[in-house]
């Protein structure tokens, strides 16, 4: 039997998205027999070794602590200011790190995730005031609830998701016992041309070496019905013929199946227009307000739900247009009352 003094190997899936993009999505699922302490289930990693490098995913720390994390490394130009958080969601904590490079990190240990459920993790990048912003959302597919966890303001302009995307399973502390398992499905990248492409082709790479020498052959990976899977640990062994490098492909729809944003205008008065987006809806990303055909505001503000008006005559028409997180656009109108 293998010694338990080293970790189990990290398993990576490198996707074939060789084009720049502004949205990344990945569905993640941890089976009950694969949820183990000291495990990082990384859904998305991008821009490795360059500006805008980061990763996000879920972690199991043991004792019921199941967190969401997101990290962005500092710019290569060290004279630039540090990144900041322009928005932090409920229970999200932001800090700075100095190991494995330097950068900004968020962790949310209270929202929680559970084994045997699918979650969609969404990452969107956009420009703001000469900087680049990175936003992170999570969708609990069972409860239908979307959560905006954080937005980071990164002090370099025109950053996109320009490299291929990586996902991995990592035993970050402890030993190769017990087994760890991770499923990935319905991954997508939207190009800067606004065209969606599925992350349906992946190259497997298994990290071996001294840090995992007691467990370096305790891994497996493959495809299920519409998802990739990866496994490591004491009871895991490669399928026949599987080496440390391999290529896999699954069949996915050409674009995400998430419905467009749902919202309603809840108040339209001479001094204000307000609207509501249910937490089960695909989240708001940008909003536009028009009065009698004249545009008053057009802003990327995921959390804003109202705009001040100054209308002297009731009966005029106000129009609110929402672009959601995935680029869908929906418009509603209302007559202004007293």
pLDDT, tens digit, 9 for 90 and up, residues 123-133: 999 999 999 99
Residue 105's domain comprises 11-249
- The structure tokens listed for 165 are 């995307």
pLDDT score at 51: 97
Residues 328 and 198 in one domain: no
Within a domain: residue 3?
A: no
Same domain assignment for residues 200 and 270: no
Count how many Cα atoms sit within 13 Å of the Cα of residue 67 in the half-sphere of its side chain.
20
Q: List the CATH number of the domain containing 320.
A: 2.60.40.10
Residue ranges of the chain whose pLDDT lies below 50? 1-3
Q: Quick one: which of 102, 139, 87 has its CA closest to 117?
A: 139
Asked if 61 and 164 sit in the same domain, the reply is yes
Q: What's the rounded Cα separation, in Å, for the pair 158 and 132?
A: 6
Quote the tokens at residue 51.
């500006």
Judge contact between 305 and 274, C-beta under 8 A: yes
- Are 27 and 102 found together in one domain? yes
Instruction: Specify if 144 maps to a domain.
Output: yes
Q: Does any domain span residue 179?
A: yes
* Residues 6+ away with beta carbon under 8 Å from 241: none
Do 183 and 38 share a domain, yes or no? Answer: yes
126 and 241 housed in the same domain:
yes
256 located within any domain: no
pLDDT at residue number 143: 98
How many domains does one find in the chain?
2
Domain end: 249, 276, 302, which one? 249
Final residue of a structural domain among 249, 282, 300 = 249
Residue 32 domain flag: yes
Give yes or no: residues 270 and 241 share one domain: no
The pLDDT tens digits of the residues spanning 299-326 come to: 999 999 999 999 988 899 999 999 999 9
- Residue 4: per-residue pLDDT: 53
- Examine residue 254 and state whether it is found in any structural domain, yes or no: no
Residue that is last in its domain, among 249, 284, 319: 249
Q: Rounded to whole angstroms, how far apart are CA atoms 54 and 184? A: 18
For residues 62 and 16, state if they share a domain: yes
Q: Residue 232 in contact with residue 176, Cβ under 8 Å?
A: yes
Question: pTM, whole model, 2 decimals?
Answer: 0.96
Q: Say what the pLDDT of residue 2 is.
A: 46
Q: What is the CATH number of the domain that holds 27?
A: 2.60.120
User: Is the domain of 270 the same as that of 236?
Assistant: no
Q: Which helix (H) or strand (E) holds 200?
A: none
Q: Are residues 198 and 303 in the same domain?
A: no
What pLDDT does residue 1 have? Answer: 42
Which positions ≥6 away from 182 have C-beta within 8 Å?
28, 29, 30, 34, 41, 169, 229, 230, 231
Contact 273, 267 (CB under 8 A): yes
Q: Is residue 166 part of a domain?
A: yes
Residues 84 and 153 in one domain: yes
Looking at the fold, whether 149 and 92 belong to one and the same domain comes out as yes
């Amino acid at each position: 039997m293998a010694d338990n003094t080293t970790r189990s190997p990290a398993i990576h899936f490198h996707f074939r998205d060789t084009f720049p993009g502004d949205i990344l999505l990945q569905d993640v699922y941890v089976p009950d027999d694969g949820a183990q302490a000291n495990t990082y289930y990384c859904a998305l990693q991008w821009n490795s070794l360059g500006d805008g490098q980061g990763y996000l995913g879920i972690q199991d720390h043991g004792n019921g602590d199941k967190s969401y994390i997101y990290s962005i490394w500092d710019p290569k130009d060290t004279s630039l200011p540090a990144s900041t958080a322009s928005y932090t969601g409920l229970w999200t904590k932001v800090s700075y790190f100095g190991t494995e490079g330097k950068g900004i990190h968020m962790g949310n240990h209270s929202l929680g995730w559970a084994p045997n459920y699918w979650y969609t993790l969404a990452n969107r990048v956009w420009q703001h005031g000469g900087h680049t912003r990175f936003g992170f959302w999570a969708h609990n597919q069972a409860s239908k609830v979307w959560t905006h966890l954080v937005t980071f303001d990164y002090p370099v302009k025109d950053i996109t998701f320009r490299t291929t995307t990586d996902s991995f399973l990592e035993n970050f502390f402890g030993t190769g016992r017990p087994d760890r398992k991770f499923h990935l499905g319905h991954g997508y990248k939207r190009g800067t041309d606004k065209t969606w492409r599925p992350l349906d082709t992946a190259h497997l790479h298994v990290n071996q070496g001294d840090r995992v020498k007691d467990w370096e052959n305790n891994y497996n990976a493959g495809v299920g019905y519409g998802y990739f899977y990866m496994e490591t640990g004491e009871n895991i062994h490669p399928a026949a013929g599987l080496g440390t490098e391999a290529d896999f492909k699954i069949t996915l729809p050409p674009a995400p199946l998430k419905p467009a944003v749902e919202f309603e205008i809840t108040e339209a008065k001479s001094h204000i227009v307000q609207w509501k987006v249910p937490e089960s809806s695909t989240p708001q990303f940008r909003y536009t307000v028009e009065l009698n055909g004249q545009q008053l505001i057009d802003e990327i503000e995921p959390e804003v739900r109202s705009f001040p008006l100054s209308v002297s005559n009731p009966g005029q028409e106000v129009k609110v247009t929402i672009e959601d997180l995935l680029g869908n656009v929906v418009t509603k109108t209302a007559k202004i009352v007293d």
